[in-house]
Amino acid sequence: MELRPLDDRVVIKPSEAQEKTAGGIFLPDTAKEKPQIGKVVWAGPGKVQDDGKRAPMSVKPDDEVLYGKYTGNEIEIEGQKFVIVRESDLLGIIER
């Protein structure tokens, strides 16, 4: 299945929450923090500006991005969890 986000929305596949701490302590599900890093799966065509032209998106599929902890809407498609956010809610692109 493919999802086509509208305007400046981006669909992100969140990275997995950490299972254990750096010291080796395993975390229960209730103690795991929400991931803030994910991979862009789908990106919209861009926001329509006042002059009727579309602003180009600064992210593209396969970009790894950082987003706010409680930003966006969580959805589930075919058993996989995704987050839909506006491009302006993204904090940055991670380059490795």
According to the model, what pLDDT value does residue 26 have? 63
Q: Taking 70 as the threshold, does the pLDDT of residue 27 lie above it?
A: no
All domains in the chain, ordered by first residue: 9-17+29-94 (2.30.33.40)
According to the model, what pLDDT value does residue 96 have? 79
According to the model, what pLDDT value does residue 41 have? 94
For the segment 55-77, the average pLDDT, to the nearest whole number, is: 91
Q: What is the pTM of this model?
A: 0.78
According to the model, what pLDDT value does residue 16 have? 72
For the segment 34-43, the average pLDDT, to the nearest whole number, is: 86
SS3 assignment, position 87: helix
Burial of 37 (0-12, 13-18, 19+ CB in 10 A): middle
Closest CA to 8 of 77, 94, 84, 91: 84
